[in-house]
Homo-oligomer: A and B are copies of this chain.
Amino acid sequence: MTAFALDIAATDGAARLGSLATAHGPIRTPAFMPVGTAATVKGMLPDQVKATGADIVLANTYHLMLRPGSKRVAGQGGLHRFMGWPGPILTDSGGYQVFSLSELRKITENGVRFRSHVDGSYNDLTPENAMAIQHDLDATITMVLDECTEHPATHERAQASMERSMRWAQRCKDAFRPREGYALFGIAQGGTHEDLRRASAEALVVIGFDGYAVGGLAVGEGQEDMFRTLDATVPFLPHDKPRYLMGVGRPDDIVGAVARGIDMFDCVLPTRSGRTGQGFTRRGTINIRNARHQDDPRPLDETCACRACTGFSRAYLHHLFRCGEMLGPMLLTGHNVTFYQDLMAGLRGAIGERCLEDWSGEFLARYRGGDVPPL
């Protein structure tokens, strides 16, 4: 079996180029994880996801514990086999969705009780059963249960919330059943308060995890505060462990976070945007539903090797979205995930050649300055 370990091949400033060995294969870092909420990256077959260059996908514990249920997934041989993705899978702890999706919730020191948004049933999520559920799912990377602090939060409120998350993190560590090549990640909280972020990072390091996530960002604080918070957190995380910025983000967020030493990302943006007709290109984002594309024989992005760009015109993609045809979201999702993976490959290449700042500057100038109108 393979030990779970990050091999850092090169650095450029705070940025790191690496390879993360896991029980289900290696992950090239910095990595972007496409989101497969309900054990499927919406509109894509697993081999299509793999073909974009993705090494790992994320699945949501909250959704899967409700449907089909973690015991049912275990009965099918685990999530990898169930969804036909043999590679690494990270599952979140369900905490974030409890706060954003469930109808009612009551939080205590023990955990959180909530009503399912699917059928109204009452369910509990505690540090202990969050570990058991993710074990049943057979997640390669398990995330601790944390409390998602609302934004904005006063220092007092953010501190109390963060400290509870740290107590939960210890309980998760105690309940987690380690296996070779599998990992448990802690999650730093503390809102945008720099002292709390440092305290949270240090508390997690004392407990000791296989990787460290920065949670509670991309919740409306803006890019400047996000980067400032990263600067206050990342230096207090171990150099030799992977760092994961949860739920981020836009291409320019990712570029900035990689420069600050982040190794892993996830976000629904490429998949969700793909379903609504928004496509990412190297010259900015475009809305394919816009009438100006209806006679355009060019591909979405001339430099992209995805199926949408090598096989179809903007005119055809526009037509598919206008008609509500499934193939539109299928093709545009595949394109957007490819765009994100190409971005990560570009960032990795630049770190390896120690030219990240130049590469990022050129990327951002083209991305922000293209003749493509913003979304």
Contact = CB atoms under 8 A, between A and B. Distances in A.
Interface of A: 38-40, 42-46, 63, 67-68, 72, 75-77, 82-84, 294-295, 297, 307, 311-313, 315-316, 318-320, 322-323, 325-327, 329-331
A297 B323 CA distance: 36
A159 B313 CA distance: 46
Contacts of A318: 68
Contact of A322 (B68, B295, B313): B68
Contacts of A67: 319, 322-323
A294 B82 CA distance: 12
Contacts of A76: 295, 297, 313, 315-316
A320 B40 contact: yes
Given A72-B294, A76-B315, 15 more contacts: A39-B319, A40-B320, A40-B325, A42-B325, A43-B330, A45-B330, A63-B323, A68-B322, A72-B295, A76-B297, A82-B313, A82-B315, A84-B312, A326-B329, A326-B330
A63 B319 CA distance: 12
Contacts of A40: 320, 325-327
A80 to B, nearest CB: 12
B319 A38 contact: yes
A38 B76 CA distance: 38
B45 A327 contact: yes
A330 B325 CA distance: 12
Contact of A43 (B38, B312, B326): B326
B315 A72 contact: yes
Which are the 7 A-B pairs with shortest beta-carbon distances? A43-B326, A40-B327, A38-B323, A84-B311, A68-B319, A40-B325, A76-B315
B326 A295 contact: no
